[in-house]
Structure 1
């Protein structure tokens, strides 16, 4: 199998794809939490993997991508799929106890996990002191934007939801590292994604049944819209783009860019829900942009 050409710097195509993905992911946590009023967290996570996995299989068949040939990627695929399943179990269960805004901040501790782990896998992706400063500045900007919402707990068990968000960040970073450290680094993006969707579909649906979550039998138009956005736009299209990017670009630089996701969520709220944009948010956006420039300069 021919190794992919991996670019050390992000070009215009990579930046455009990343910004689009981050915009979609910024909206995704809100959609997931909104859907919890009509569907259990584990069924929601598991069934969206089922639908997205079917779409990846159809897409691959139409493009002639070989998904089932032996290429030595099975062990890495099962590992990445297990981490992916655990990550989304933490996210969807955690959203029952904490707000979507808080959850998205904790999830985006993931770039630190990638930055710490990647030098052990690819020495060329070790961050310099300036780049570490940019990473800290970027995350600090995100935390600063959300600081007002951290002043009071929404429920006595909010800490549990926050802890699950941190666990999800570690698992997401671990998934990225597993992809780069195994034969998945040379596998097509479609195959990498199908491993994760397939394993997570089985694991999460089994966990939902074991936990006794009621099977969703009635689907309102509202639930269909929220679920369809997560399954088709996020889990299929945006994740396919993300794993293609991981295969062709430096993972540390990609991971830092994802820190823009929480602020995209705030901007989406302002545009879609007419929520105000404060001076704090403007300052945070400026600091975030500076941090990303430091890491990718």
Structure 2
């Protein structure tokens, strides 16, 4: 859609185009002419949308804080799910995973060699020495947010402690690589380099994603890559960074019993942390962690 300079801007700000996104669009077009992949307008969030996503993210962070206070050996993953569901609903929000494409629970609980999408179950008991990822996503007034954390239960083996630590470092390095007018590939290279330098592998089959107006939006955020490649990162983009780091090889399989849970093919442990972030004019803002 081509706008006259004096027409109202496409972003919904009610400002004239020349006073709002004209210079922004011209900069994007200059990258496109160089052959770069550029985001479409529907990927770029306006001020009202960003504020709505921030509020969803505030609830999402509070959910993970509640899990952090209560998770322990001896409890079932179903108990975690009940905590997540009840608190989310009490805040006037909805757990995004519940019934999403048939997913039966309000969060994902992935233990040890489970990479992601572990389904809470009353018969799955968290044990001393386990590492577990709890992934929660929230819908509030139509806006989505998404984040996950690793938890180490009791006396965890040093090898697993290192895996959890390095996976968090991978996330933080991926975040540091995000710069306005940088590239998605910058994130992938930062994550991949750090993981592989520590003897680990990065899962290719899953990655981060745009989020905010829907649960999963463009772009796909790969955690392997090459600096200076893939889509241009521009202010107003909101997406997750969520590297899944395996102690062994990156290969996986999906449990046929539930058609959801992804596990490492070689039985090695896996760890993941996730942020939802906003690209700003000067850097980034972590919305939920």
What is the TM-score of this pair, normalised by structure 1? Answer: 0.27
Q: Structure 2-normalised TM-score?
A: 0.28
